[in-house]
Amino acid sequence: MTEVFTLGEALGVLSADRLRHDTEARLDIGGAELTTAVGLARLDHSVCWLGRVGADEFGSRVVTVLRGEGIDVSHVQRDPAASTGLTVRQRRIGRAGHVVHYRGGSAGSRLGPGDIPARAVQAAKVLHLTGITPALSGTAWSAAHHAVKLAKDAGVTVSVDVNHRPALWADRQEAVEALAELAAGADVLFANAEELPLIEPVMGAARELVITRGAKGASATVNGMRYDAPAAPVTVFDPDGAGGAFVAGYLSGLLEELHPTDRLRRGCALAAFTVTSPSSWQGLPTRAELPPLTF
């Protein structure tokens, strides 16, 4: 049985300090759900990741990396008619960066309900998705909601990370309506403090509401009780990927039936590993590397 089934868009990532002058750049892949999948797999959980990637080198890199991490990629779709999306990142002053996405018409945005394997979703313990997927296109929106319905019908725990990306939405009202609808189906709902107004009408529907606060740590409200955990004191190299890593740690603790405070601690630990690395997923720890309090 797969413990966690997740779906979303994976992107190629090109990073440099200054593209117009640099003669070298760093190649990587990324994606919120991809980071979560790797984080869980490195903690010895069984994970299946679904997405559409292009029949190109970045698409091949996504499949190769995930397979190498022990993640089930048997349902990944290779799309010969569209390219894998690309993120271009430039570091400017300190940790501040400039990010541009080239994902319009990408293979990932062409995900549709027909790509969702019903049996695989319904055989999982947890379905995890983010608010990024429904923002990509109408078909991706339908795919996300179809997956949630399949999971709910089968009694599978639904995990949703709001992950509001303003640049992907036509306007704020569209985002509010779509994200609130997605969040309403969540058993475990993740959001940062800035996203709470977007989902305020449906926050009470989740069995567990988990709020991340960056350097201030995180909190979880479980069955009406609030629990808190501090962030790990680390020097941040790049904050990208912190949310997906935190979710991986928290879901790992949930699957192992840890106390809510320990779930938060594990989430904060994984986020700390990620933000000290130039990659959103490469720095994620194995179980042996977890700090004692998060084991």
- Asked, for residue 291, whether it belongs to a domain, the answer is no
Structure token pair of residue 20: 């117009």
Q: Is the pLDDT of residue 170 over 70?
A: yes
Residue 96 pLDDT grade (very low, low, confident, very high; cuts 50, 70, 90): low
Please indicate, yes or no, if residue 262 is contained in any of the structural domains: yes
Instruction: List, for residues 5-23, the tens digit of each pLDDT value.
Output: 999 999 999 988 887 787 7
If you average pLDDT over each of 21-30, 157-166, 168-177, which comes out highest?
A: 157-166
Q: Residue 164's pLDDT band (boundaries 50, 70, 90)?
A: very high
How far apart are alpha carbons 160 and 41 in whole angstroms?
A: 18
- The yes-or-no verdict on residue 95 having pLDDT over 60 is no
* CATH code: domain of residue 106: 3.40.1190.20
Classify residue 294: in a domain, yes or no: no
Residue 93 confidence (pLDDT): 58
Token digits for 131? Answer: 């608010």
The answer to whether the pTM exceeds 0.85 is: yes
Phi, psi angles (nearest 5°) of residue 62:
-60, -50
Under a CB-based contact definition with an 8 Å cutoff, are residues 261 and 175 in contact? Answer: no
Mean pLDDT of 145-150: 98
Would the pLDDT of 92 be above 80? no
pLDDT for the residue numbered 240: 85
Q: Which residue pairs, CB below 8 angstroms and at least 24 apart, start in 151-157?
A: 151/121, 151/122, 151/124, 151/127, 152/185, 153/122, 154/121, 154/122, 156/121, 156/122, 156/124, 156/125, 156/126, 156/127, 157/125, 157/126, 157/127, 157/187, 157/188, 157/254
pLDDT at 294 exceeding the cut of 60: no
Cα–Cα distance, 271 to 218 (Å, whole number): 11
Residue 94 pLDDT > 60, yes or no?
A: no
Of 174, 146, 130, nearest to 30 by C-alpha is 130
Residue 201 confidence (pLDDT) above 90: no
| β-bridge pairing 126-130 and 97-102 | unpaired
DSSP state of 184: T
Total structural domains within the chain: 1
Report the mean per-residue pLDDT for the chain: 93
* Residue 230 pLDDT greater than 60, yes or no: yes
The average pLDDT across 66-93 equals 93
- Which positions ≥6 away from 9 have C-beta within 8 Å? 31, 33, 51, 52, 85, 103, 106, 108, 109, 111, 132, 133, 136, 140
Considering the domain boundaries, does residue 277 fall inside one?
yes
Domain extent, residue 165, equals 4-282
Average pLDDT over residues 273-280: 92
Q: DSSP class of residue 164?
A: -
6/144 Cα distance (integer angstroms): 10
Within a domain: 115: yes
> What is the average pLDDT across 25-29?
92
What's the CA gap between 84 and 20, in Å, rounded?
A: 23
Q: Is the model's pLDDT at 31 over the cut of 70?
A: yes
Query: Which tokens go with 69?
Result: 């991490």
Q: Give pLDDT, residue 200.
A: 86
